[in-house]
Amino acid sequence: MRVGNQSRYWLDFDWHLYGFFWDWRANNSHIQASGCHISGQAPQRPRVETMKRLLLIPLIFIALSAFAANHYVRAGASGNNSGSDWTNACPDFTSGGSCDPSSLTRGDTYYVAAGNYGCPNFTTADSGSTVITIQRATTANHGTATGWSNSYDGQAKFGVNCSLSNAGNGGVGQVRFSTDYWIFDGVTSPTWPSVSSQSMSAYGFSIPTLSSCSSASSGEQFLELWDNGGAETRTGITVRNISGSCCGSSYDTDQFGFVMGQSNGNKFSHWYAQNCPNAIFLWHNTNPTVEYGYLTGTWSGTEHSDGMDMQQVTGATIRYNYWHDCSGTGCLECPQLGWTNSAVYGNIFAGNNNSGGANGVIGSGTTGMSISGILVYNNTIVNPPGGVFFDGASDATGNVIENNLIMGGSGNDSIDGTATEGYNSFWNTGGGTFGSNAQTLSSNPTVSSSTGNYHLATDTAAWTSLSSPYNVDPDGVTRTSSRGAYQYVYSSVNNYYVATTGSDSNPGTQASPWLTMQHAINSFTLGASGTIIHVAAGTYTDSVSTGSLSPACEGNTAWACVNHGGTSNSARLTIQCDASN
C-alpha cells in the first residue's frame, strides 16, 4: 500500500506472522492500521530498515525450529497415530499412546482438531520452566499441511463420555493439570463482552456438561489445576479461550467450574462458565489473574454459592470480566481464610439475578478474617442488592472503592469494615450515594444497557486519575476522564464501514457499507478522537489510479492511497479488519 501526501512519504511496513501494523505520521497526521490480511501492490522502494526486518524473519524461525516440534491430535484419526502429521494424528490424549498426557514433550506444541475428546490428566514432569502448548488448530494456524483439511477447524470438546470418580479434596475434574508450565488455548472466542455472541459453542475449547450428572459426586469441577491435596503448588499455567458448563441446579451438590488449587501466578483468560453455583474457585492462591470472562446461569442451593469463591488469596488481578446473573452469597466472595492485596477493575456486574447476593457484589461470609488492600476501580455495577461492597466483613480494612458506576438497585454501601470511597457515579439507585465526590446522574449514561452495551453514551463526572495498569479500559482505550468500566470515546470517533456486499454510493454506515477501501479513504472525516474504517471479512482487489486523486499520491497505481488526514497527533485513522459488520 502506498501512503502519500503533498510531500513524499513512504510507508515503513513492520510485518508480523498474522497481519500487519503501520503507524505513519506526516504533517501532524497520524494514521494507523492493524490486523488486516490485504493483498496488493507493496511499495517499490521500501526502506532499508524494513528489508532488514524481513530478512531476519526466516532466521528467527530457523532458530526456533531447532528447539521445538509440533504434534497433532485429531479425534477419529486412522493413520499410525504417531502424531507426526494430520494423517497420522493421535486420536486423543490417551495413556500409552504417542500423545500420552504423562509423557508429552516440553517445549513442543500439540495442535488439536475439532472433535470430542476424553478427560485428560496432564502429568508430564516439569523441566525447568519449559512450557507445553496445547492449542486448537485453525485454518490460519495448524502446523503442517500434510493431511490437513479445513473441516478440522472447529470446536474441540474435552471431558466427553468420561468415567469420573470423586478424587478426595480435588473433586472430579474433566480436565486436570497436575504439573506446571502449560498453555491450554482454544485460540478463538467472542469479542469481549459481546453479550449476544456468548455461548458454549463460541469458544475454541469447550468442556460440556457431564454426560451423567447424576453420578457426579459433590465437588464436580470441569477444569482443575490440581495441587495434590495441598501438597504442591501449581505455577506457570495459562488457560484461555475455553467454555464450560456445570451440571446445574437439578443436582444440588457443591459444583465448581474453573478451579485453581494451591497456585502461584496462573491465569484464566477469555473464559465462559454457565450453570455453576461456583464458577471460579481460587484456593491458597498467590498472584492469580482472572480476565475477559463471562459468567451466566449461576444458582444457589443448599451448598455455598457465588460467582467466584476465594479462600486465602493474595495479589489477585480480577479484570475485564462480565459477571452476569450472580446469585447466592455474592459475585466475588471470600467465605473464609482471607483475601488481601488484590485489584478488581474494569468489570461489569449485571444480570437478571441482580449483581450479587446476600452479602453484596463483593462480600464475605465470615467475620474474623482479613479482607484488606482490595482496590475496586472503574467497574460498572447494575442492579446491585442491598450490600454493594464487603458486606459481612466487619474487619475489612484498607480497601479502596473509586471510579465505579452504579446503576439501579438499592445502592446501599453496607461496608461492615472501613474503606476509602470516592469519585463514584450513581444512576437510579434507591439507596442514594456514598463516598466523597459522588455524582448523581439524571439519565442512563450507557449506550444500551438493555442489550448489555455498557459503553458510555455520555461522559460521567471526572474520575480520580490512576496510573498503569488501572488507566486502560477493557477495549484498550487509555482512561482520561470516565468512571465505570469504559472510557467515554463514542461521540468523538467517526466510524465507517466497508464490505464486499456494499456499494460506494451508500453512506458508509454499518447497515449500508461502502464497497471499496479507496472510496472510504477518500470520503472519511477525521473525528476529534479519530476515525475507524471497519472492513468486513472478504477479499478486496480494487486497484486505483492515484493520478485521479487530489492531491495526487506519487506514482501511477497503488492498492490504496491515503491522501488526507488531520492536524492532531491524538486523532488517528484506524483501518480495522472485522469478522463481520
* Element holding 295 (H helix, E strand): strand 294-296
Question: Sign (positive/negative) of CA torsion 354, 359, 360, 364?
Answer: negative
**Amino acid 561: pLDDT:** 55
CA torsion, ordered 452, 458, 461, 463, to nearest 10 deg: 60
pTM of the model: 0.74
What would the pLDDT profile of 240-255 be if each residue is shown by its tens digit? 999 999 888 777 777 8
Q: Band of the pLDDT at 10, cuts 50, 70, 90? A: very low
**Within a domain: 482:** no
**Within a domain: 47:** yes
Q: Band of the pLDDT at 387, cuts 50, 70, 90? A: low
pLDDT higher at 49 or 323: 323
Cα distance between residue 407 and residue 413, in whole Å: 13
pLDDT higher than 50, residue 349:
yes
**Within a domain: 510:** yes
Least confident of 19-28, 162-171, 175-184, 537-546: 19-28
**Within a domain: 188:** no
Residue of 446, 454, 458, 487 whose CA lies nearest to 470: 487
Domain count, the chain: 1
Cα distance between residue 532 and residue 115, in whole Å: 38
Give the CA count within 13 Å in the CB-facing half-sphere of 341: 7
CB 382 within 8 A of CB 349: yes
User: Mean pLDDT across the stretch 399-424?
Assistant: 81
Most trustworthy range by pLDDT among 36-40, 170-174, 476-480, 491-495: 476-480
- The angle at the Cα of 389, spanning 238 to 359, to the nearest 5 degrees, equals 90
Give the CA count within 13 Å in the CB-facing half-sphere of 372: 8
CB 243 within 8 A of CB 206: yes
**Within a domain: 7:** yes
What would the pLDDT profile of 101-119 be if each residue is shown by its tens digit? 999 999 999 999 999 999 9
Full residue range of the structural domain in which residue 555 is found: 2-58+495-577
**Within a domain: 23:** yes
**Within a domain: 479:** no
Beta strands at 557-558 and 14-15: parallel, antiparallel or unpaired: unpaired
Q: Band of the pLDDT at 19, cuts 50, 70, 90? A: very low
What would the pLDDT profile of 418-443 be if each residue is shown by its tens digit? 789 999 999 988 767 888 999 999 99
**Within a domain: 25:** yes
